[in-house]
C-alpha cells in the first residue's frame, strides 16, 4: 500500500490495482459524539457546521497540526481500503510525508500506520516520491528539479541518484492563494466569502500569467460586508491574478533561492531537462509560464499533478528492490 498523506488530499495506492482512494484530508468531529465524517463528506461541511461540529484539517500547514485527528484519519482510510481483505495479511506501507516534518511527527505517522495494520512502514520524502511519480529519472546521476505545490506547503527539491541533493519547503501554497482571494474580495468588493468559494474562484478563474484570449469573468456569491445581506458580485480574471501576486512571489523566490544553491553540474542538467511541476497547485493556469519567465528555465506540468506522490509510492512498492534506496533517508521500522 502506498499513501500520500497530503495537507489537502490523501491518496492510497494498492499494489497491482493502482490508486484506489482519493479524498480530502478533512475530518468532521462532533464535540460530544466524536468523529462524524472523514474525507469528501467532511470537506463539504467546512464552514457549514453547527456549533457542536468542527471540520478539521489535521495537516493544514504541512506539519501534523492535530496529531490525534491525523491518526484517526489515516486509520480510517487504510481500513476503508483494506475492508473485505484477509485481516491476517498485513501490508507493507510506503508513505510520502512533507520533508519538513520532525522526527516526532514521523514516528507518529509510523505508529498510526502500524496500528492500522501495516507490517512494515517506510517513509519517503514527498519530493522524491513526486519526482518518481512524474516519471523523472531520479536513479540516474542527473540533476532533476521538482516543485510540488500542495495545499499547505510548496516543496522545491533538486534530486539525483535517488536522493535529495537540496530542498526548500515554504509554508505558502494552494491554501495561501485561496486566502489571498478571500481577503481581496473582502477589501475591494466588501464581500465575505468562505474557504470553499475562494478555492472555486482560484480553480475556475485564477491564473498566474495573462493569456492572450479574452479573459473570463465569474459571478461570486457571498455576504455583503456593509448591508450584511447575501449579494452577487462579478469579478474578472486579472484582478484575481493580481490578488494572488504576493503568495506567488514567495513561491518564485523559493525556486530562485534553490537554483542559486544548486551545484553547477546539476544546474546545467536542470537547464537541459527543465523544471517539473507537481501537486494540485501546478494546475493553476499559467503557473508554468510564470516560472519559466522568472527563471529562464523551461517548466513542465506533470501529467497527473495531484497523483504524482501516490504514484511514486506505488512505483517504490512495486519495484521495491530497485527503489528501496529512495526511502533510505529514513530509518526502517518493523
User: Rule CB under 5 A: which residues touch Mg ion?
Assistant: 6, 150
In the block, residue with C-alpha cell 491518496: 11
Q: Is the dihedral of CA 96, 101, 106, 112 positive or negative?
A: negative
Closest separation in Å from C-beta 177 to Mg ion = 15
Closest separation in Å from C-beta 210 to Mg ion = 28
Q: Report what 152 binds from ligand ADP, Mg ion, none; CB cut-off 5-8 Å by kind.
A: ligand ADP
Piece of the chain touching ligand ADP by CB under 6 A; list 45-53, 70-78, 199-207, 245-253 = 199-207
Q: Which of residues 302-331 bind ligand ADP (CB under 6 A)?
A: 306
Q: Report what 207 binds from ligand ADP, Mg ion, none; CB cut-off 5-8 Å by kind.
A: none
| Per CB under 6 A, 127 contacts ligand ADP | no
Instruction: Kindly determine how many residues on this chain lie close enough to bind ligand ADP according to the rule CB under 6 A.
Output: 19
| Per CB under 6 A, 279 contacts ligand ADP | yes
Q: What's the grid cell of residue 277?
A: 511541476
* Nearest CA among 54, 47, 65 for reference residue 7: 65
- Closer residue to Mg ion, CB minimum distance, 159 or 240: 159
Closest separation in Å from C-beta 268 to ligand ADP = 29
Q: Which residues contact 175 (CB under 8 A, 6 or more apart)?
A: 7, 8, 60, 151, 152
- Using the rule CB under 6 A, which residue among 9, 99, 144, 164 binds ligand ADP? 9
CB 322 within 8 A of CB 139: yes
| Per CB under 6 A, 6 contacts ligand ADP | yes
Q: Is the dihedral of CA 276, 264, 252, 10 positive or negative?
A: positive
Piece of the chain touching ligand ADP by CB under 6 A; list 48-56, 67-75, 275-283, 311-319 = 275-283
Closest separation in Å from C-beta 235 to ligand ADP = 16
State how far the Cα of 176 lies from the Cα of 221, in Å rounded to an integer: 20
Q: How far is CA 24 from CA 13, 21, 32, in A?
A: 15, 10, 23
State how far the Cα of 75 lies from the Cα of 81, in Å rounded to an integer: 10
The single-letter DSSP state of residue 81 is H
Strands 144-149 and 275-278, by their bridges, are parallel
| Per CB under 6 A, 100 contacts ligand ADP | no
CB 159 within 8 A of CB 301: no
- Closer residue to ligand ADP, CB minimum distance, 43 or 315: 43
- Chain positions contacting ligand ADP, by CB under 6 A: 6-9, 150-152, 174-175, 199, 202-203, 206, 279-281, 283-284, 306
Amino acid at each position: 500500500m502506498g499513501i500520500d498523506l497530503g495537507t489537502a488530499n490523501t491518496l492510497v495506492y494498492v499494489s497491482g490495482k493502482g490508486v484506489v482512494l482519493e479524498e480530502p484530508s478533512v475530518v468532521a468531529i462532533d464535540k460530544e459524539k466524536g468523529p462524524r465524517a472523514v474525507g469528501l463528506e467532511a470537506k463539504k461541511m467546512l464552514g457549514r457546521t453547527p456549533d457542536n461540529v468542527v471540520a478539521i484539517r489535521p495537516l493544514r500547514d504541512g506539519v501534523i497540526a492535530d496529531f490525534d485527528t491525523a491518526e484517526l484519519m489515516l486509520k480510517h482510510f487504510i481500513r476503508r481500503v483494506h475492508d473485505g481483505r484477509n485481516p491476517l495479511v498485513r501490508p507493507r506501507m510506503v508513505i510520502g510525508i512533507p520533508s519538513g516534518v520532525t522526527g516526532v511527527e514521523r514516528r507518529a505517522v509510523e505508529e498510526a500506520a502500524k496500528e492500522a495494520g501495516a507490517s512494515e512502514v517506510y517513509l519517503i520524502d514527498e519530493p522524491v516520491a513526486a519526482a518518481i511519480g512524474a516519471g523523472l529519472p531520479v536513479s540516474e546521476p542527473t540533476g532533476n528539479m521538482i516543485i510540488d505545490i500542495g495545499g499547505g506547503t510548496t516543496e522545491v527539491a533538486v534530486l539525483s541518484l535517488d536522493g535529495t541533493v537540496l530542498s526548500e519547503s515554504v509554508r505558502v501554497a494552494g491554501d495561501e492563494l485561496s486566502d489571498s482571494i478571500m481577503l481581496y474580495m473582502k477589501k475591494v468588493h466588501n464581500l465575505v466569502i468562505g474557504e470553499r468559494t475562494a478555492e472555486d474562484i482560484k480553480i475556475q478563474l485564477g491564473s498566474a500569467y495573462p493569456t492572450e484570449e479574452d479573459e473570463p469573468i465569474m459571478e461570486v456569491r457571498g455576504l455583503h460586508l456593509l448591508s450584511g445581506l447575501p449579494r452577487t458580485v462579478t469579478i474578472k480574471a486579472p484582478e484575481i491574478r493580481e490578488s494572488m501576486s504576493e503568495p506567488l512571489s514567495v513561491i518564485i523566490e523559493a525556486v530562485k533561492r534553490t537554483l542559486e544553491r544548486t551545484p553547477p553540474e546539476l544546474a546545467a542538467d536542470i537547464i537541459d531537462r527543465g523544471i517539473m511541476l507537481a501537486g494540485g497547485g501546478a494546475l493553476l493556469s499559467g503557473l508554468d509560464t510564470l516560472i519559466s519567465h522568472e527563471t529562464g528555465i523551461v517548466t513542465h506540468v506533470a501529467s497527473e499533478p495531484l497523483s504524482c506522490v501516490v504514484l511514486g509510492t506505488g512505483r517504490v512498492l512495486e519495484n521495491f528492490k530497485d527503489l528501496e534506496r529512495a526511502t533510505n533517508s529514513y530509518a526502517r521500522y518493523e
